[in-house]
Copies of this chain bind each other. A is one copy, B any other.
């Protein structure tokens, strides 16, 4: 593949030009039929797969992440595009609803009203450091914005700039070859450009994955715009795991080795890393150390994603370790590639200082909390902030009902006898939760439902059939699934099958 010439906007003027070009591309793509638009996503997926041999080594060099992990992440990103392409083809993302004229409607005569989702316009997407494929140039936010019909301005993450720029070239080239309008996807680089992008009147939504501090600053900036726009920020999450007594007594060793593997995976640089493990206080320190040791020794050490992250990690870890009642069960090293840290505390300490449960340590560190009675767990869970995930380990004889209800109240995804790292891309997935897990708790950044974030509904009243979007025309020329007069009228063709 010949490398495309990539324009990188770094100044305010260049962002202005990129935003206008993206807006023009968005408008020019507005009438595109679902099949053609889906083809653009498929083309980008195929280009990612075809260029894996070049892209993955660039990612390894930039991020210190393992090659196999990045191979999997690229495959995931391509799969995501193909799954969303299937949703576009099926028309699910359009959510077309038709209410015919009804003279006997219960509140008085009803006009003909037809609603369809339309794209928001230009979307600004910030690359995340920790997923150089899946949450970066062509990650979940870019893929769902394109699936929605939006144009994308992507802010390059400096932690993997070489990979990001090459990925962007591959994406731009693939879109061009597939016939998408020039400018539908473009990149910006550097802080001044990022701020100009966030402030630009033609930018109609922002997708962000990163730290709570950085995310909140951006949220505040977006909220202060003359025209505030949706800010889909995924900020911080502790991802507590609650082990109930029967599960603990029947398989504590398995649980601890699974825990150690999960929190050290990718050097602990996952938004879903289990940061707190609640276990019964029957567990002695010796037992814990002994059961954790083999898995911790197996965890390969690597440098963290960036020197800045290494720095913040040390500060966060030392901060939590310094709280009253917290001590090191397994002290980690202070190397550039720090060995894992396991801190230990108890329910009394976290009850008197819930901050222990609220400090994300982004890297290989976690806290074990011993409790004397599982009856306190719902209260401790309630002391936590909003979470992406929360996990219960329980056997049949455990009573998890109250805890499950409590976790439903604070988390976006609740797991049972599993580990939160690993987020499948599917129709039912929910990756998001109450603040600070996200700034938009009703939305997900993973899975097919992510597309809806970048659309808004428009209703047409008494508009002639020929002037309507084909999604709303009486004859249903696109053959999509619609709701008509309250009834769901599934499309004749199956879907959700595109990539199976």
Q: Which residues of A contact B (CB under 8 A)?
A: 27, 30, 72, 75-76, 79-80, 82-83, 86, 97-99, 104-108, 110-111, 113-115, 118, 120-121, 204, 219-220, 223-224, 227-230, 385-386, 400-401, 404-405, 408-409, 411-418, 424-430, 432-436, 439-442, 444, 449, 452-453, 455-464, 467, 481, 483, 485-488, 490, 494-497, 499-500
In the bound complex, CA of A430 to CA of B444 (Å): 22
Complex A-B: 16 CB contacts under 8 Å? A72-B107, A107-B424, A108-B424, A110-B424, A219-B223, A227-B435, A228-B435, A412-B458, A412-B459, A413-B461, A427-B483, A428-B459, A428-B483, A430-B457, A444-B457, A483-B496
Residues of B within 8 A of A401 (CB): 467
Tell me if B82 and A429 are in contact (CB < 8 A): no
State A344–B107 Cα separation when bound (angstroms).
36
Q: Are B114 and A416 in contact (CB under 8 A)?
A: no
CB <8 Å contact, B435 and A442: no
Q: A118-B408, A467-B416 are in contact. Are A428 and B462 (CB under 8 A)?
A: no
Given A456-B441, A487-B496, are A83 and B106 also a contact pair (CB < 8 Å)?
yes
What are the residues of chain B within 8 A of A405 when measuring CB–CB?
27, 30
State whether A227 and B434 are in contact (beta carbons under 8 Å apart), knowing that A442-B455, A449-B457, A486-B495 are contacts in the complex: yes
- Nearest 7 pairs between A and B by C-beta? A486-B496, A430-B459, A223-B223, A97-B428, A79-B107, A99-B428, A115-B428
- A500 and B408 within 8 A (CB): no
Is A415's CB under 8 angstroms from B496's CB? Answer: no
Contact A429 B486 (CB under 8 A): no
Q: How far is the CA of A35 from the CA of B204 in the complex (A)?
A: 39
Q: Copy number in this complex?
A: 2
Residues of B within 8 A of A453 (CB): 442
Q: Are A456 and B434 interface neighbours, CB within 8 A?
A: yes
For residue A220, which residues in chain B have a CB less than 8 angstroms away from its CB? 223-224
Could you tell me the distance in whole angstroms from the C-beta of A467 to the nearest C-beta in chain B? 6
Q: B414, A460: Cβ atoms under 8 Å?
A: yes
Q: How far is the CB of A338 from chain B (nearest CB, A)?
A: 28
Taking a contact as CB atoms under 8 Å apart, the answer to whether B486 and A427 are in contact is yes
**A428 with B114: CB separation less than 8 A:** yes
Q: A428-B99, A486-B495, A488-B481 are in contact. Are A460 and B106 (CB under 8 A)?
A: no
List chain B residues, Cβ under 8 A from A459.
412-414, 428-430
Are B227 and A104 within 8 A (Cβ)?
A: no
Cα–Cα distance between A486 and B400 once the two chains are bound (Å): 30
CB–CB A230/B441 < 8 A:
yes
CB of A247 to closest CB in B, whole Å: 13
Q: Flag if A418 contacts B79 (CB, 8 Å).
A: no
Inter-chain contacts of A424 with B (CB < 8 A): 99, 105, 107-108, 110-111, 113
Specify which of B442, B464, B487 is in contact with A456 (CB 8 Å cutoff): B442
List 14 other contacts, CB 8 Å, given A121-B409, A488-B490. A79-B106, A79-B107, A82-B106, A97-B428, A118-B408, A227-B436, A230-B442, A414-B463, A430-B457, A430-B458, A434-B456, A442-B455, A485-B496, A486-B497
Residues on B with beta carbons closer than 8 Å to the beta carbon of A86: 486
Interface contact A500-B449, CB-CB below 8 Å: no
Contact A107 B413 (CB under 8 A): no
**A435 and B205 alpha carbons, distance in the complex (Å):** 12
